[in-house]
Every structure is written in structure tokens, then in C-alpha cells.
């Protein structure tokens, strides 16, 4: 299943609901892309794709230093659901829809 594209995401973070955009590009089983939110843009290029299952790590810069955000998601048609592990901030579920 093709997962490439742009997705509008709502993340249920410890700070409440946050809107973001994820953009994915695949090359075989390799996943790269960008996460954009009010915290800024974070690019990644070391993700993996296995069917409609995605996983990647984005290194975000925060006021408290760098933070690795470990993400996993499942694409079903134009829908995306997943979870982001944000270190000491816990986990945040997210869902969204492909917009491009």
C-alpha cells in the first residue's frame, strides 16, 4: 500500500490536543519525511515501512534540549493512526487523514 503523501494529524499529547502535519516518502522499505507542528519542523530519514506499518525516529529540538520522538503508525487507505513516544513526557496517540 502506498503511504507517500501529506497527512493532517491531531496528536493527543500530555499538553492537550496538538495539530501537526506529517509528510512521508518511501523508497522500498525505507521511510523519510517531515513532521511539522507549532514546535517547528523536524525531518527524518531513517524510518522503515513494512506493508502499511511505519516506524521512525525524529530528533526534535526543545527548550530542554534534544528529544528523540519514536513514532509508529498504521496507514489504512487515506487514514493514519499511531503513537509517538516522547521520552520523559510519555506517549501521545495520533490520527489523521491524507491531504496530498
Domain hosting 51: range is: 5-89
Whether 65 maps to a domain, the answer reads yes
The answer to the question of residue 68 being in a domain is yes
What is the value of pTM for the model shown? 0.87
Show pLDDT as tens, one digit a residue, over the chain (100 residues).
Answer: 589 999 999 999 777 898 999 999 999 999 999 999 877 888 999 999 999 999 999 887 776 777 788 999 999 999 999 999 887 778 899 999 999 7
What length does the chain have? Answer: 100
**Is 47 part of a structural domain of the chain?**
yes
Torsion of CA 73, 6, 2, 74, to 10 degrees: 10
In-domain check, residue 95? no
The predicted-structure confidence for 23-42, as pLDDT tens digits, reads as follows 999 999 999 999 998 778 88
Residue 38: φ, ψ to 5°: -65, -15
Number of domains in the chain: 1
Nearest residue to 8 (alpha-carbon basis) of 48, 40, 37: 37
Contact 82, 92 (CB under 8 A): no
Q: Count other C-beta atoms under 10 Å from residue 64's C-beta.
A: 9
Amino acid at each position: 500500500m502506498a503511504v507517500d503523501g501529506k497527512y493532517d494529524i491531531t496528536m493527543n499529547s500530555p499538553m492537550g490536543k496538538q495539530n501537526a502535519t506529517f509528510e512521508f516518502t518511501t523508497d522500498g522499505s525505507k521511510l523519510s519525511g517531515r513532521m511539522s507542528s507549532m514546535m517547528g519542523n523536524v525531518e527524518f530519514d531513517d524510518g522503515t515501512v513494512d506493508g502499511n506499518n511505519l516506524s521512525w525516529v525524529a530528533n526534535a529540538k526543545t527548550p530542554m534540549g534534544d528529544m528523540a520522538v519514536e513514532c509508529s503508525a498504521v496507514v489504512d487507505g487515506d487514514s493514519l493512526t499511531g503513537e509517538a513516544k516522547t521520552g520523559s513526557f510519555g506517549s501521545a496517540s495520533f490520527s489523521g487523514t491524507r491531504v496530498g
